[in-house]
C-alpha cells in the first residue's frame, strides 16, 4: 500500500525544524525535507554575527528545551544578552537541535508540490514522489532574493546578491560597490574592508540608521514598563509585533501590508557601527539607474536627489537588497494552485487562517511569506515558536476534519469564514475543489 504521511515539512531551517519537532511530539506521521540550516550554512559570509539577542533566537521544541543557551552550555560557550553571537555558532545550534529534537531530516530538494486527492504529491530531485495529507512550506528566504532593476542583466562576474557569498576574501584588493542600507549591506561592507577589499556603500537613504546598545535585562520597574524588552527589541510597538502575532493577523489587510513594508526598517547593529564607520566610504542619497559591464569593470550610473549624475566605476557590485515575499516565485508549488491562493490585500503573500493554513485546505506556510499575515516577528527566528505550535494545531484540525483516510471521500474546500482578506482569485481551468 502506498505510504501517505500526515505532514510533509519542506525546509529544514529554524521554522521547518521547529514545526517538525512539534509535529512529531503530537504523534503525527511527519517527514522533514531539505538541507538543514542551509540559509545560515551556505548563504551568509564567514565572520557574520547574529543581530538578534541570543535569548530571542531559539528554535522551538514543545517542551521548551533545546534552547540556544542549552546548546551553548553543552559546548562551554556564552550566549549572553548584549554579546553578539557568531552565525557559525547559531548554525551549529540548529544542527544540534535537528539531532536532538526533530525527526530525521531528509536532505533532498523538493521540485514540485501538486494537489492529489485531498492531499498532495511532493516530488524531489533525488527520489520517488511522496504523498502527504498536509504540507507545510517552510522554504525560508532564498526563493525570494530581491535583485534590483538595473543589475539583473549584468553577468555574474560583475554582480551578485549578498546571499551568494560565504567567502568574501575573493574580493581582496578589488573595489566593490555594496547596495543597501540594512544590516546585511553594512556588515558585508565592513567584512569586505576587513578582508582586504575596497568597498563603497551606496544607498538611496540620506542617512544610515544604527541601533543603540541594548538596555540591560534587569532594570528599574518604571523603565522596564516604559520600554519593555521583547523578541524584536525594546518598546511597546515591537512588543505587540513580537508577543501578539495573532492580534496582528486580525488587523485589516491594508494595515498589515503597511506594517510588513515599513516595520523595523533598515538599521545596523550597535556593535557594527565602529567597524563600519572606520573603514567604509559611503554614497548616501544616491539612486542606481543604470549598470553596464565595461570590459572587466562595472560602471554604475547613479543620481542624487538634486538630480546630479554620478558614475561609479568598480570591479563588482553586491546587492544587499534583501528578500521580497512573493508567491509567484515559489515555483515548486503547482502554478494553478499558487495562482488560486487568497492573498493579503495587494501583496503576493498568502492570506492565512489563525493556524497558518492557506486558502487551499491542508497547505500551510511558515516564515517570511507569513509576515504580511502575522507581522514582522515572522521574519525572525523569534517567530518560530508561535508558528510551530499554531501550525501543528492547524494540521491536527485539518486531519481531524477530513476524518479517517481509508474509504473517505473528503473534499478540499476554501473555508471563507477563516480568511479576513480577499478570497482567492481562481484562474480558468483550476477549480477550488479537488475530488479524490
- Rank residues 381 and 392 by Cβ distance to ligand FAD and give the closer one: 381
Minimum CB distance to ligand FAD, residue 71 (Å): 15
Q: How many CB atoms lie within 10 A of CB 303?
A: 15
List of residues contacting ligand FAD (CB under 6 A): 10-16, 33-35, 37-39, 44, 50-52, 57, 109-110, 138-142, 163, 184, 332, 367, 380-382
Q: How many CB atoms lie within 10 A of CB 58?
A: 25
- Rank residues 59 and 312 by Cβ distance to ligand FAD and give the closer one: 59
Minimum CB distance to ligand FAD, residue 208 (Å): 17
Minimum CB distance to ligand FAD, residue 52 (Å): 3
Phi, psi of 33 (to 5 degrees): -115, 140
Residue 199 grid coordinates: 568597498
Q: Which residue has the cell 473534499?
A: 411
- Rank residues 12 and 28 by Cβ distance to ligand FAD and give the closer one: 12
Minimum CB distance to ligand FAD, residue 236 (Å): 20
Minimum CB distance to ligand FAD, residue 99 (Å): 15
Minimum CB distance to ligand FAD, residue 110 (Å): 4
- Rank residues 109 and 303 by Cβ distance to ligand FAD and give the closer one: 109
- Rank residues 138 and 391 by Cβ distance to ligand FAD and give the closer one: 138
Minimum CB distance to ligand FAD, residue 34 (Å): 3
- Rank residues 51 and 133 by Cβ distance to ligand FAD and give the closer one: 51
- Rank residues 48 and 288 by Cβ distance to ligand FAD and give the closer one: 48
- Rank residues 14 and 362 by Cβ distance to ligand FAD and give the closer one: 14
Minimum CB distance to ligand FAD, residue 317 (Å): 17
Amino acid at each position: 500500500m502506498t505510504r501517505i504521511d500526515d505532514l510533509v515539512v519542506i525546509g529544514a531551517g529554524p521554522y521547518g525544524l521547529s514545526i517538525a519537532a512539534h509535529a512529531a511530539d503530537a504523534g503525527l506521521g511527519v517527514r522533514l525535507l531539505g538541507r538543514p540550516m542551509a540559509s545560515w550554512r551556505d548563504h551568509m559570509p564567514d565572520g557574520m554575527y547574529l543581530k538578534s539577542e541570543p535569548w530571542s533566537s531559539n528554535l522551538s521544541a514543545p517542551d521548551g528545551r533545546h534552547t540556544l543557551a542549552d546548546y551553548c552550555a553543552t559546548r562551554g560557550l556564552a550566549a549572553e544578552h548584549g554579546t553578539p553571537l557568531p552565525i557559525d555558532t547559531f548554525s551549529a545550534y540548529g544542527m544540534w537541535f535537528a539531532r536532538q529534537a526533530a525527526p530525521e531530516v531528509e536532505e533532498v530538494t523538493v521540485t514540485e508540490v501538486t494537489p492529489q486527492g485531498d492531499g498532495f504529491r511532493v516530488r524531489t530531485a533525488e527520489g520517488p514522489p511522496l504523498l502527504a495529507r498536509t504540507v507545510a512550506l517552510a522554504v525560508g528566504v532564498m526563493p525570494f532574493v530581491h535583485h534590483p532593476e538595473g543589475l539583473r542583466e549584468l553577468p555574474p562576474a560583475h554582480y551578485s546578491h549578498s546571499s551568494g557569498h560565504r567567502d568574501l576574501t575573493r574580493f581582496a584588493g578589488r573595489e566593490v560597490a555594496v547596495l543597501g542600507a540594512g544590516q546585511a549591506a553594512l556588515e558585508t561592507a565592513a567584512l569586505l574592508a576587513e578582508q582586504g577589499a575596497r568597498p563603497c556603500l551606496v544607498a538611496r537613504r540620506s542617512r544610515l540608521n544604527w541601533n543603540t546598545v541594548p538596555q540591560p535585562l534587569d532594570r528599574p520597574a518604571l523603565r522596564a514598563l516604559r520600554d519593555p524588552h521583547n523578541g524584536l527589541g525594546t518598546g511597546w510597538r515591537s512588543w505587540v509585533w513580537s508577543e501578539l502575532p495573532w492580534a496582528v493577523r486580525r488587523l485589516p489587510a491594508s494595515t498589515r501590508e503597511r506594517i510588513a513594508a515599513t516595520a523595523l526598517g533598515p538599521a545596523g547593529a550597535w556593535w557594527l557601527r565602529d567597524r563600519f564607520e572606520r573603514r567604509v566610504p559611503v554614497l548616501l542619497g544616491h539612486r542606481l539607474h543604470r549598470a553596464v559591464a565595461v570590459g572587466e569593470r562595472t560602471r554604475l550610473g547613479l543620481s542624487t536627489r538634486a538630480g546630479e549624475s554620478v558614475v561609479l566605476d568598480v570591479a563588482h557590485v553586491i546587492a544587499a537588497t534583501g528578500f521580497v515575499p512573493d508567491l509567484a516565485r515559489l515555483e515548486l508549488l503547482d502554478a494553478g494552485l499558487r495562482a488560486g491562493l487568497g492573498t493579503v490585500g495587494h501583496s503576493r503573500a498568502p492570506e492565512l487562517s489563525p493556524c497558518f493554513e492557506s486558502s487551499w485546505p491542508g497547505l500551510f506556510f511558515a516564515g517570511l511569506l507569513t509576515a504580511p499575515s502575522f507581522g514582522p516577528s515572522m521574519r525572525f527566528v523569534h517567530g518560530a515558536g508561535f508558528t510551530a505550535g499554531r501550525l501543528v494545531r492547524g494540521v491536527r484540525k485539518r486531519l481531524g476534519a477530513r476524518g479517517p483516510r481509508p474509504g473517505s471521500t473528503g473534499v478540499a474546500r476554501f473555508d471563507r469564514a477563516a480568511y479576513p482578506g480577499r478570497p482567492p482569485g481562481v484562474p480558468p481551468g483550476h477549480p477550488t475543489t479537488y475530488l479524490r
